[in-house]
Structure 1
Amino acid sequence: MGGTGHSVFFLLYVLCVLWTLFEAESQKTSDCARWCPLNSRCVNATACRCSPGFTSLSGDIFTNLLENCDDINECGPPLAVSCGKFADCQNTEGSYHCECSPGYQLASGAKTFKNESENTCQDVDKCQRKPRLCKGRSICINTQGNYTCRCPPGLELNLSDPNVCSDVNECTSGQNPCHNTTHCLNNIGSYECRCRPGWKPIPGSPNGPNNTVCEDVDECSFRPPVCHNSTVCVNTVGSYRCRCRRGWELKPGFQNKQMNTTCQEMSFPAWTEPPGIKSQRLSNFFKKVQVLRRDFKPALAQDTIQNLITSVDELLEVPSDLDALALPERHKMATHLLSELERVLRTLAKAMPGASFTYRSPLNTELSLMIQEQGDGYTTIGQSHARMLLDWAVAAAARDSDPTVMGILSSWKMQKLLANASLELDPETKAKLKDLHQSPVRGAQYELLSAVNLVFLSNTNTEHLDSPVTFAFSHPMKTPGPRQGLVCAFWKSDDRGGGHWNTTGCWTRGTSNDSTTCQCSHLSSFAVLMAHYDIEDPKLALITKVGLALSLVCLLLCILTFLLVRPIQGSRTTVHLHLCICLFVGSAIFLAGIENEGGQVGLRCRLVAGLLHYCFLAAFCWMSLEGLELYFLVVRVFHGQGLSKCWLYLIGYGVPLLIVAISAAVRHEHYGRSLYCWLDPEDGFLWSFLGPVIFIVLFNAVIFVTTVWKLTQKFSEINPDMKKLKKARVLTITAVAQLFLLGSTWVFGLFLFNPHSWVLSYTFTVLNCLQGFFLFIFHCLLNKKVREEYRKWAGWVTGNRYSEFTTSSSNQTQAHRPSESGM
């Protein structure tokens, strides 16, 4: 039993073990299929093995469910495979192979091999391929495993295609292979050094190689000449030019300094009379100009210029009928003469031989010329009257190849034509004067100190110069007084052909003993002027206007009084009346039209000046008649009653009419000035007013002294008991009244239109602007008979008859009283 039991137990045990092993094997196979990754196979239930050519992080066998089998890079470091020379290892999925390097191939023609022992890689000749790798003129050079494209000399690889060669331009490569006297010519793959046109190889130097050296060809030495016989050949570097000879000018259609330039002999420029000016003297001058033009020869240009200056001097030395021209016509003639002289002298100067010329006429007119082909920097030209410093580039005309001309013509005689022209100050000068005098400048009179200097250049576009020109003008030394100043002025033409002096664009830089330095930004005719500035005095202007207005009212009252008051009628009242009428009309015209607003002397201004001349002369003639009447009344009291009314009117109105008529016939252009409508002091014309005034004032002064002396004697004879104080009062009132009646205060008026003295100006203004007021006071209000008439008129106006009774009683009472002067 025991043995049998053990056998049965052993059998059961064996069966259990076999059953367990069977189930374990079944379980293993089932798990391996589920979790071994790609490129691996199952080893057992718990491990996997990577396929050949793959590995995991744990090695070929791994048990981690998260691991993968990755490809082994047999070609990577560390290098485990060697393919041999000229071959490269190429890794594949789970394996590798070897390939020949680019430019090499296996001898068998196969593409790959497995190990170094199979390596038969050898170089391939790429330059034998079709089509060619190197294009154009490039050369293929085979190298170990590669090739190179090279260019022959004179060519270079194209940057956009390294297999193509393009030409190298040695002439622009910056290497400057040729000498600077030659011209580089590029060829395909090469270059040449050749002489430029107008150049030739120096002796012993060939033309073409890179060592060629050239020299200029002197075309002006060729025979026959290369230029026309009317021109001069000028050799230039590599070429030549033909320019007109001195004294010749271009033919129409040609340009100067060209190879085909053709010239003709220069002619005297045409010069005709200015239109609208009738003058026999001027006509004779232009006849001489036409003779100079007809006989002109370029070789005699110097003599022609001298004769022309002499003719101008003769024209201005004895102006004759030129003086009779009106100022606008005279200034128009001056503008024409200056502009045409500039044009003619500029042309004739180009025919002058040499580089400079100076001529001084017997009448002290001086011309300086400078003629040069070319110049640089600053240059100076001058003579005894004027000097000029300027940049040569300013003198040369743009695009003008003629010789450059600079000239100065200084004439003292030209002052006669330019006299009495207006002076226009630039705004900057006016502003400075206003700040200096604390009053605006209304204008300026002037005195010409220097000669008139006509400046001209080859450059005719001189209205706005690139750089200013400096002048030094000689003149007699004169120290400026109050309200005066030395100014540099130029003659400026206007639209009507005339002109005036102007200071715009010219500045006074300094004054020495005998010259003034000026700087101008343009060119014209220049002169140094002593300007007398008309500084407006607001106080004086107010006094004048208020005083004249008051005088006009008082003069009107005087006129009405002398006409209507019968008790005072007589020859003296007639003289008083017409004196007041003349003063009233003259003061009204003075107040309304003395100022010349436009600055131009026209018909209105001349008419105002003529009327003022007549009215004030008539007033003074009536003042002289006042003196005569006073003389007959006081001195010759027993020898008649004076002049008749016929003689009074003839002297009072006829004499001034005669003076004004003669003055207007001789110098009508002197009526009117640029600032005031009054007489122009030029040529002493103001004496047509001052002469009679001074004579009458002196005559009346004698009458005044005689009258006062005689009155003193008569007061003593009539009433010797009159007190001295009362006698002195009566004499004083009478004397003051006669001062205004006889016009003695007008002696202060000599400076009315050119006030250099403020004291005289204010004295004259106060006394004479109020002359009508004083006449009304002394000859109306202080006259007892006039006062009585005023009382009567006042009574008639108010209807009060008591004033008339009072006046009658007063007259009776006064008849028994000692006489008092009522003059």
Structure 2
Amino acid sequence: MRGLPLLPGLCFLLSLSGVMAQQTKGTCTHCPQNAFCVNATHCTCNHGYNSESGKKYFRFRFERCEDIDECKPPISIYCGVNAECQNIKGGFYCHCIAGYKLLSGKPQFKDSNENTCKKITPKTTNGTKEMQQFIETIESFLTNKTVLKDTRNITTVTDFLQDVESKVLNAALKAPDQETQKVQKSTVAVETRVVTDNCSKGVFLNAQMNSMEIHCKDVIQGDIQGSSAVAFVSYSSLGNIINATSFEEMTEKVYLNSQVVSAAIGPKKNTSLSQPVILSFQHMKVNPRNKIFCVYWKSTNEGERWSKDGCALIQVNKTHTICSSTHLSSFAVLMAFQDQEEDPALTVITYVGLSFSLLCLFLAALTFLLCKAIQNTSTSLHLQLSLCLFLAHLLFLTAIDRTENKVLCAIIAGALHYLYLASFTWMLLEGLHLFLTARNLTVVNYSSINKFMKWLMFPVGYGVPAVIVAISAASRPHLYGTPDRCWLHLDQKFIWAFLGPVCAIFCVNFVFFLMVFWILKRKLSSLNSEVSTIRNIKMLTVKATAQFFILGCTWCLGILQVGPAARVMAYLFTIINSLQGFFIFLVYCLLSQQVQKWFGEIIKSKSESEIYTLSSRFGPDSKPSEVK
């Protein structure tokens, strides 16, 4: 048969594939983790691992290869004197115990034959003594009142700070065997850390209840040969020399609410950090509720002052402020003076006025829903505006000061941000609807306007604010909520995530109203439209314009609460803001002839019902019941 000569060739190919499988440790894919295939038929664990069943070769695909701990019995690797074994996945290594190091300087070795562990004996203590002597000198300098009075007139504070940093780092590098040095005095404290090898974690230092954390890679600086050091210095009395009067933003009155600290690395200064350094400051005045600034000491040709450049506020609690910085320098925390205490009259006006506004908004929403005579696209816009304002005012009254839980406070701030933006967006839609109605007055094409607005209003009215809040929350979530209010933080101009869209809506609506006035003046006089239609459009324009200025004016007054007129603007802002609900109910319900007629019919029907009930009980044909 012709097929028989093919058998030798087939056998040869099968044997060749077996050889290739042995050379490539198999080609099967069912072996577990930390194992490889043998002869395409069996699996075996990698070196340093044993199978859970104890078999060297196995075919069970759910077998597990477990790490062999060479440092424990029965193997118990011996590393020699003053050394110990350290197990790792798939192997082990030896290292010297604490207080000993290899003569080669390497951190680890393989077996006892390479053991050269010797006790660490500091070659010199000059660095430690130099550090202590220098800190004592700084201590005597800062406690000398006569010297301090003289130093207030000098302009070389930066030189003093840099000189302290340089000498502290030099003292630390002179004693590399002393990995950590810490010196504490009454007016100054310092902690240094020497780094001699590669590392991948943060270096944490603290002094006088202040602390810093810097990434280790920023300390070693890659191209530096030998040891590197990081120093953290805290001054408890240096604020008497460089106080808050040197703040570059003198528009705000501030005071120093922390000790001055310095952070530096050496032997070479590192101006660019891979990760921001984190600084924690203890407050000098506990439980602050004022505006806080994270600052550093900046030296320029114009002079020396505190600056916020590159510094950011991360978190504040009653006792500490946490900041971050993209560079190393001397840092502090400044706090704004509270211009005025909370006015109890404003608080009363706010709660009473907003409560009355909530009642009016609730009545207005019921009217828009139940009065069929006024139900149209314009009424739908009024209804959504009333609902958004109702929810915003209700949340403001009940939760604006719930700052105990930071996550909950941020959620409340985000909800207020969304609801107030939604209110202004519905105002924008009202302006658009008014403009389209006036523009199409010539053809009386209200049906197309209604279809367009019904398709547009809900995605825009609720979708646009959601997009703005989502982008704001994703970019700066930590700026939702302040220490005393659940609202947007003023840092990094984050408040413009609200004021920006509001100003844009204000401007667009203003253009709409100007165009409507122009249409009414130029074109309505030449139309053959019904007089009642023109009168209705004029009335709608007057109402919408009044609403625009009432609602928009509130936030304009809020922005103007600065300077000597701040108190007056605060009262106007509070009063007008608390009257928004009453204004909507008055203009769109109480002054509407259709609503008045509807109210009259309700009252009339109720009166007739009562008269009928009374007449049925005591009418002329009724007979008194007989007493048995």
TM-score, with length taken from structure 2? 0.49
Question: RCO higher in 1 or 2 (8 Å CA, sep ≥ 6)?
Answer: 2
Choose 1 or 2 for highest CA Rg. 1
Bigger fraction of residues in helix: 2
TM-score, with length taken from structure 1? 0.39
